[in-house]
Amino acid sequence: MDGDLAKLALAMPDMRIVAMDLEYGDDTEPFVELGIARWDCGVRSGRHIIVGEHPGPIIYRHGMTERLPLGAACRVLTDELWDADAIAGHDLSGDRLRLNKVGLSLRHLPTYDTAKISKRIFTPGLQAQLRAMLQIYGISTEGIHNAGNDAWAVIDLLVEMTRQGTAPCAGPDGTYRHPRERSDILRDRRTRNGYVVEPGGRETP
């Protein structure tokens, strides 16, 4: 198992981890949805917030959706993070930039970015979309792209990464297929010139 995942597997039962996800609209607001999922020493909870009047077409699967102004949504996130041991997310770089626009920083907390972990433990060229990684680890993708559901899924993914490590069983039939052997993942291994890198290093359009 990856070294960082092995350490997390030992520590996670006693940790408070806050997973977050933002969904963006146009540039009139830094974000239009905020999803929060907490892991409190094994106890799960979550929140889904829509900013202002933005429509929320995908149903939040883990509770009621709230509507709050941007400032109130930011205060919710700040309050949720005050006792956290770590923050988690999937490809947090864009979310960090959006939060910086409203004066929030995540730099004070250790971070578990499941996209970065996926790329490190499988293959550097992997475009580790959340849906693909959930499928690889046999986790439901229902409701993905609702910020609350995505944050909850990040906790699911962390749990399964620490449990299954780098040898996940993908799919409902439980058949083992390493991501390097999956054609859909290989198609996402892009080089700078836009070609796909196949096993053995041969490039094809």
Q: In the structure, what pLDDT confidence band is assigned to residue 132 with cuts at 50, 70 and 90?
A: confident
DSSP structure class, residue 144: T
Cα 22 to Cα 89: distance, rounded to the nearest angstrom: 10
Predicted structure pTM score: 0.79
Cα 1 to Cα 4: distance, rounded to the nearest angstrom: 8
Cα 49 to Cα 151: distance, rounded to the nearest angstrom: 12
Cα 36 to Cα 21: distance, rounded to the nearest angstrom: 7
Cα 107 to the chain's mean position, in Å? Answer: 17
Q: In the structure, what pLDDT confidence band is assigned to residue 172 with cuts at 50, 70 and 90?
A: very low
Mean pLDDT of 72-85: 94
- Contact indicator for 101, 95 with CB cutoff of 8 Å: no
- Contact indicator for 76, 49 with CB cutoff of 8 Å: yes
Token pair of 64 as six digits: 């009621």
Mean pLDDT of 131-146: 89
Residue 192 confidence (pLDDT): 30
Cα 172 to Cα 174: distance, rounded to the nearest angstrom: 5
Cα 126 to Cα 20: distance, rounded to the nearest angstrom: 22
Dihedral over Cα of 47, 108, 15, 137: its sign: positive
Residue 182 confidence (pLDDT): 42
Res. 185: pLDDT tops 80: no
Classified as helix, coil or strand, 190 is strand
Mean pLDDT of 117-143: 81
- Contact indicator for 60, 146 with CB cutoff of 8 Å: yes
Residue 45 confidence (pLDDT): 96
Cα 152 to Cα 197: distance, rounded to the nearest angstrom: 33
Q: Which option is the CATH number for 3-204: 1.10.10.60, 3.30.2130.30, 3.30.420.10, 3.40.1440.10?
A: 3.30.420.10
Cα 40 to the chain's mean position, in Å? Answer: 18
Res. 164: pLDDT tops 70: yes
DSSP structure class, residue 47: E
